Structure 1
Amino acid sequence: MRKDRLVTAVASVAVLAVTAVAVWAAIRLGAVEEPSSPAALSAGAPSAPAAPVVAALERVVVPDVLAVVPAGAGAAQVDRIRKIAKVADVITVAGGAVTLEGKRVDVLAVDPSEFRSWTPPVTAESQALWTALAGGRFVAASTAADDLGLSLGATYRLAGGEAPSVALGGTAPLGLPGVDVLVPPETGTRMGLVPSVAVLVNAPGVKPATLVKKIRAILGKKAEVMNLHTADRAGTAGSYLDLYKRAATACPGLSWTVLAAIGQVESDHGTNVGPSSAGALGPMQFMPATWQSYGTDGDGDGKADIMSPFDAIPAAAGYLCAAGAQKDLYKAVFAYNHADWYVQEVLALADAYARKFA
């Protein structure tokens, strides 16, 4: 387990109620054309285009507020949002409404390398999905794809601006209300999407309602500012909150709040996945040697991935259970990290989570 201490604050309990509207096996990908083999290229023929490069996922950012500004947010407004106390991350993207298969859909034009961090963990982790987007295809929210009857790999006309025809590269839960389709920036420009029409804000430790009020004051009455922690959205499958709750059920008597507290201390719920100075990795900061014994395939994809919250969180529950959490919680947490200060901090945070979500 992780040996170096992360400075934590009880106020950051709000980071758990994330907005991911995901299911366990929700990503579908269209067929991707393979580049021609060297033997198939004639002498002097141009080489196949290089595959698009998408930066590897380094962290997952929990969006707390989504603001939609019809005319686009100005640079000064975005700068003021960034200066709100405890705001950690802000991203702006172009967007607009277009027609797809005869129905209105809301589209965002995003940089795959940058935007993937703001999506639910199961979506953010899919390198193939974001590579398809970077390659000029579009990605549809799982629900939108089902509602519209879209077929993977098929080409569709996105009626807006130059109305380009674009192939569907994949579907996945996007975790944002009203967002149906993602396109790469170049396609968004052709479609005439409005720059900075959507603003996503991450502010751990700030009450979402307070954050909404401050952002609305900056953006004005025409902006629609949404709290992404409303009761009907928080804790759905794919969120860190739900992952902690699901994992705890495998160890009767172990509260999900203990897993949440460990997740906060170890990586701030996936924000800092290491490696630590001791070599620990992933959202629950397992040492690779420990992972060999306790690694779990939590999402049923056939592998136990130390970097995946879908695997690491159930593995942490299994470790604590094996360490006797049902009989002596203090001893089990001490086994996770051999330090009394660590146990005391985890238990204090667990109590804070219990009170926050009572």
Structure 2
Amino acid sequence: MGEVLKKTGASAAAVVLLGLAGCGIDRPPIPEGIPPGPGTPVPVIDLDAPGRAALQLRPWADEQADRLAIPSTALQAYGYAAAVMTRARPDCGIAWTTLAGIGSVESGHGTHRGSSVGDDGAVRPPIVGVPLDGSPGVALIKDTDGGALDGDPSYERAVGPLQFIPETWKRWGVDANGDGVADPQSIDDAALTAARYLCASGGDLTSELGWQRALLTYNQSRGYLLTVRDRAAGYSVGRRV
């Protein structure tokens, strides 16, 4: 997946940390260890409800959205994806905190460069990463879809709040909000797609080995893995990161 938004996410987190420190706010320490904790339990909902089933999680998400600095709609999407995978892949054990950690690093939960997540889960304007043209520090991946998803007919670009390249989305993309379209710019679709991909890549994400394997498949960077771990661990104890 894309690491193209990592620096922006890190800078925003640093500003928040400095601001809170200056205000003298006492916050719980970020737990150590891998995998990060699961966070507040996701309430039982009807996973097969028509339309955007994730909306059932709004009370759960609203209660902690401000505290975590995660848009409620994004939090609903992370919780729904984790709940779906609990039923579909009970051996995986992926937690919403891991998805939130990735969403934070990749796009600030769909808010990169002024984008926002609507009540319907759509990210507007769409988030599109840099061209993967082999320039310094950038992988070389030539276009696979004629620019259908990323608007670039020459090179792949990571798209959406979870930053999937079109080739990966074509294989793993799923419709999570019941609109009949698998859209990487929908945080519902992107979160469930990421959860499926991580479970397939890591196996048992409640184990240290499985969680690390999943994250390194998502992005082959130890630094990325540790940043996601820290943010997910922070969310697990109810603090913004």
Question: TM-score, normalised on structure 2?
Answer: 0.54
Task: Determine if the alignment matches structure 1 residue 348 to structure 2 residue 238.
Answer: no
Cα deviation, residue 325, structure 1: 4.7
Cα deviation, residue 274, structure 1: 1.8
Identify which of 185, 188, 191 aligns with 1:310.
188
Moved runs in structure 1, 4+ residues, more than 4 A? Answer: 10-13, 232-235
Which residue of structure 2 aligns with residue 3 of structure 1? Answer: 3
> Counterpart amino acid of 1:25?
G
> Counterpart amino acid of 1:300?
G
Contact 2:176-2:189 at 8 Å conserved across structures: yes
What is the SS of the residue equivalent to 1:331?
helix
Could you give the per-residue CA deviations for residues 278-297 of structure 1, whole angstroms, max 9, x where no partner exists? 31000100010000111010
The 3 A distance-change label for structure 1 pair 298 and 11 is farther
Task: Determine if the alignment matches structure 1 residue 281 to structure 2 residue 159.
Answer: yes
Could you give the per-residue CA deviations for residues 294-315 of structure 1, whole angstroms, max 9, x where no partner exists? 1010011111011111211100
Cα deviation, residue 270, structure 1: 0.6
Task: Determine if the alignment matches structure 1 residue 260 to structure 2 residue 100.
Answer: yes
Residues in 2 aligned to 1:307 and 1:240: alpha-carbon distance in whole angstroms: 12
Residues in 2 aligned to 1:296 and 1:286: alpha-carbon distance in whole angstroms: 12
Contact 1:24-1:238 at 8 Å conserved across structures: no
Residues in 2 aligned to 1:344 and 1:302: alpha-carbon distance in whole angstroms: 35
Correspondence 1:193-272 to 2 at 5 A: 231=63, 239-249=73-83, 250-251=85-86, 252=90, 253-272=93-112
More helix by share: 2
Cα deviation, residue 271, structure 1: 1.3
The 3 A distance-change label for structure 1 pair 321 and 230 is closer
> Counterpart amino acid of 2:107?
S
Which residue of structure 1 aligns with residue 174 of structure 2? Answer: 296
The 3 A distance-change label for structure 1 pair 233 and 313 is closer
Could you give the per-residue CA deviations for residues 158-180 of structure 1, whole angstroms, max 9, x where no partner exists? xxxxxxxxxxxxxxxxx9xxxxx
Correspondence 1:123-134 to 2 at 5 A: none
> Counterpart amino acid of 1:309?
I
What RMSD, in angstroms, separates the aligned Cα atoms of the two structures? 3.5
The 3 A distance-change label for structure 1 pair 310 and 332 is same
Contact 2:65-2:72 at 8 Å conserved across structures: no
Identify which of 51, 69, 81 aligns with 1:25.
51
Cα deviation, residue 232, structure 1: 9.0
> Counterpart amino acid of 2:130?
S
Residues in 2 aligned to 1:335 and 1:268: alpha-carbon distance in whole angstroms: 21
The 3 A distance-change label for structure 1 pair 312 and 12 is farther
Cα deviation, residue 324, structure 1: 1.6
> Counterpart amino acid of 1:276?
V
More strand by share: 1
> Counterpart amino acid of 1:244?
Y
The 3 A distance-change label for structure 1 pair 276 and 286 is same
The 3 A distance-change label for structure 1 pair 318 and 339 is same
Could you give the per-residue CA deviations for residues 328-356 of structure 1, whole angstroms, max 9, x where no partner exists? 10110110011110001101111011111
Cα deviation, residue 276, structure 1: 3.1
Contact 1:325-1:333 at 8 Å conserved across structures: no
Which residue of structure 2 aligns with residue 101 of structure 1? Answer: none
Q: Percent identity?
A: 35
Unaligned runs of 5+ in 2: 18-48, 113-126, 133-156
Residues in 2 aligned to 1:319 and 1:297: alpha-carbon distance in whole angstroms: 14
Contact 1:2-1:276 at 8 Å conserved across structures: no
Aligned length, in residue pairs = 150
> Counterpart amino acid of 2:63?
A
* Greater C-alpha radius of gyration: 1
Cα deviation, residue 3, structure 1: 3.4
